[in-house]
Amino acid sequence: MQVHPNFVNRFEGVTFPVKVKYCGECGLPIEYCSYFPDYEKCKIWLEKNLPSDFEKLLDVSGGAEGGDGDETGEGGKKSGRQKRGGKGIVKTKKKAEVDRHIGLWRANRGKKKYVTIVSGLTTFEIDLKEASKFFAGKFACGSSVTGNEVVIQGDVKDDLFDIITEKWPEVDEDSIEDMGEKKI
């Protein structure tokens, strides 16, 4: 039985000149789903309807595999289009998946004055201003937002592990790391 090669390729959904696939949820090419406000819904749709593409979208973000890897099967078919697609996917991935990790530092601000620096809260989508206010109330001390970090007056690092996980249950204690001293 002879099967037309194009058919085979399309069937495997891997190589043959990749047609842009559109998302049934937002109607955009799937690489753009992450820009759509209802990306969560897109994800559900993608997972159901285009599981392998969905996996790729998520996959590339880790960067572990490097873009080109998977199943370029038949070789040779690396068109410009595919490359562009690849880049788009990488972007999407970066946006979709951040390394969720909170770091706690103690820093010396002169004469036995310490501050505690909390980084990474935003990776859990925690509002920094809110967090800063919360810490200030909790420790009855000054607290401010500096760049991407919250700086708390005083050495409160040890208490933060409990306080953060209590206040934001989505934060797992293992993702909070004691980073030691920070030289300022």
Which residues of the shown chain bind Zn ion in the complex (CB under 5 A)?
23, 25-26, 33, 42
The residue (of 16 and 54) whose beta carbon lies closer to Zn ion is 54
Find, among 16, 81, 78, the residue nearest to 8 by Cα: 16
Least distance to Zn ion, CB of residue 71, Å: 23
The residue (of 32 and 134) whose beta carbon lies closer to Zn ion is 32
Cα(56)–Cα(70) distance, integer angstroms: 9
Least distance to Zn ion, CB of residue 170, Å: 24
Please state, in angstroms and as integers, the Cα–Cα distance from residue 138 to each residue in 103, 130, 153, 179, 184, following that order: 19, 12, 12, 22, 25
Determine phi and psi for 114, rounding to 5 degrees: -115, 150
Least distance to Zn ion, CB of residue 54, Å: 11
The residue (of 96 and 141) whose beta carbon lies closer to Zn ion is 96
The residue (of 27 and 180) whose beta carbon lies closer to Zn ion is 27
Burial class (CB within 10 angstroms; exposed 0-12, middle 13-18, buried 19+) of 65: exposed
Least distance to Zn ion, CB of residue 98, Å: 20
